[in-house]
Structure 1
Amino acid sequence: MKRNILPFGIIAIVGIFISIIVFYVGVHQRDDIRLAEENGGEPVEEQGEVATDPEEIFSSSCASCHGQDLSGGAGPDLTSVGSSLSAEDIHNIIMNGQGAMPGGLVGNEEADVLAEWLSEMK
Structure 2
Amino acid sequence: MKRNPLIPFLLIAVLGIGLTFFLSVKGLGDAKEIAGGGENKSAEKETANASPEEIYKANCISCHGENYEGVSGPSLKGVGDKKDVAEIKTKIEKGGNGMPSGLVPAEKLDEMADWVSNIK
What SS is found at the alignment partner of 1:75? coil
The aligned residue for residue 30 of structure 2 is 29
What SS is found at the alignment partner of 2:45? coil
The aligned residue for residue 56 of structure 2 is 58
Cα RMSD (Å):
2.8
**Residue ranges of structure 1 left out of the alignment (5+ in a row):** 37-42
The aligned residue for residue 46 of structure 2 is 49
The within-5 A match list for 1:39-118 is 46=41, 47-50=44-47, 51-118=49-116
Higher helix share: 2
Which stretch of the first structure deviates more once superposed, 57-66 or 24-33? 24-33
Cα 1:6–1:115 shift into 2, 3 Å:
farther
The aligned residue for residue 13 of structure 2 is 12
TM-score (norm 1): 0.70
**Residue ranges of structure 2 left out of the alignment (5+ in a row):** none
What displacement does 1:66 show?
A: 0.8
What displacement does 1:118 show?
A: 0.6
Counterpart CA distance in 1 for 2:62 and 2:11 is 47
Counterpart CA distance in 2 for 1:45 and 1:115 is 26
Cα 1:27–1:83 shift into 2, 3 Å:
same
Rg larger in 1 or in 2? 2
What displacement does 1:76 show?
A: 0.6
What displacement does 1:110 show?
A: 4.8
Cα-to-partner distance string for 1:69-105 (whole Å, 9 max, x where unaligned)? 1011211110111223333432332232120122223
Aligned pairs, number: 116
Counterpart CA distance in 2 for 1:8 and 1:61 is 51
